[in-house]
Structure 1
Amino acid sequence: MSQQQRFPRRRASVGASRDFVTSTLLKWELRPLVQDIKLCVSELATNALLHGVPPGREFSVGIHRGEGLVRLEVRDSGPGLPVVRQPDNDACSGRGLHLVRELADDFGIDDHVVGKTVWLVFKTPTTPEPAPS
């Protein structure tokens, strides 16, 4: 199963991308993954807006469910590749990729002729979640 959506280069797109992955995960009955993936897409969408989406272009968010995993992808059309940094304690920024790498079970960056895709993989829960009462 896969879902993908494009977002314009606007601040509101970060919240819209969180809503998109949340609704997809809930539809797939993967509530235990919602908080981590929502935080990760927020970080990756923010990075795309700040560093990867040239004016007038969009970024895309894809979420894919495979056997035992969920893969989150954020693709933009900007130049350059992101670098995971270990920020010093006083830094006000620079923690996003470090954070998402720690939350995900796997992490990578695919370089394209135009732009790049930052992807994360999360293992799905092995037991079904009980229905809310």
Structure 2
Amino acid sequence: MTTMTAAPPARRRTQVCPGYSIGLACWASSVPLARMAARTTLRCWGLPKETAEGVALVVTELVSNAVRHASLANLESPERCHLMLELTTPDTIRVTVYDSSPRRPVLRHPGDDDTSGRGLYLVAALAANWGVRPVTDGKAVWAVLKAGQQ
């Protein structure tokens, strides 16, 4: 006798928890933690894997920049940075990284032989929009990504 079972229900996007944030020390070890948090959050939101990978790359670049630049200000005591992910519409993700450095990031166009300087270039390529704004104790660098646009 063959028993038929129903297929599991399709995974639906949820608005139960449209935001996620985590405070991080500005250490290199915080970068993979932030990337994993982004992937997990987008998976919980039911967004496509391709979208999660694009967001994870943007998170990696923005947190890496925060680690590199904010930690230079005080080598004795690690600074803090903060990652915030927001599902602003069912298909729009806003990534914001706060750090204590007031220096604005600069979008460079690195040459083929350059070994660094591609972070914001990648962010600009993946995001529908991105920018920086000053905050009381540093800056916030943000990027808006659309699901399926990566």
Instruction: Give the TM-score, by structure 1 length.
Output: 0.88
Structure 1: 4+ residue segments shifted above 3 A: none
| 1:47 to partner: Cα distance | 0.6
| 1:107 to partner: Cα distance | 0.7
Quote the residue 1:33 is aligned against. 51
| 1:71 to partner: Cα distance | 0.3
Question: Which letter does structure 2 place at the counterpart of 1:63?
Answer: L
2:98 to 67, 75, 87: 75
User: Match of 1:48, SS?
Assistant: helix
2:111 to 66, 88, 100: 88
The percentage of counterpart residues that share the same residue type is 32
Quote the residue 2:82 is aligned against. 60
Of structures 1 and 2, the larger Rg is shown by 2
Number of residue pairs aligned between Structure 1 and Structure 2: 126
| Larger mean Cα displacement after TM superposition, 89-98 or 50-59 | 50-59
Instruction: Give the TM-score, by structure 2 length.
Output: 0.79
Q: Where does structure 2 lack aligned partners over 5 or more consecutive residues? A: 1-17
For residues 129 and 115 of structure 2, the distance between their equivalents in structure 1, rounded to whole angstroms, comes to 26
For residues 119 and 70 of structure 2, the distance between their equivalents in structure 1, rounded to whole angstroms, comes to 14
For residues 123 and 9 of structure 1, the distance between their equivalents in structure 2, rounded to whole angstroms, comes to 27
Please say if residues 70 and 79 of structure 2, whose CA atoms lie closer than 8 Å, have aligned partners that are also in contact.
no
| 1:66 to partner: Cα distance | 1.5
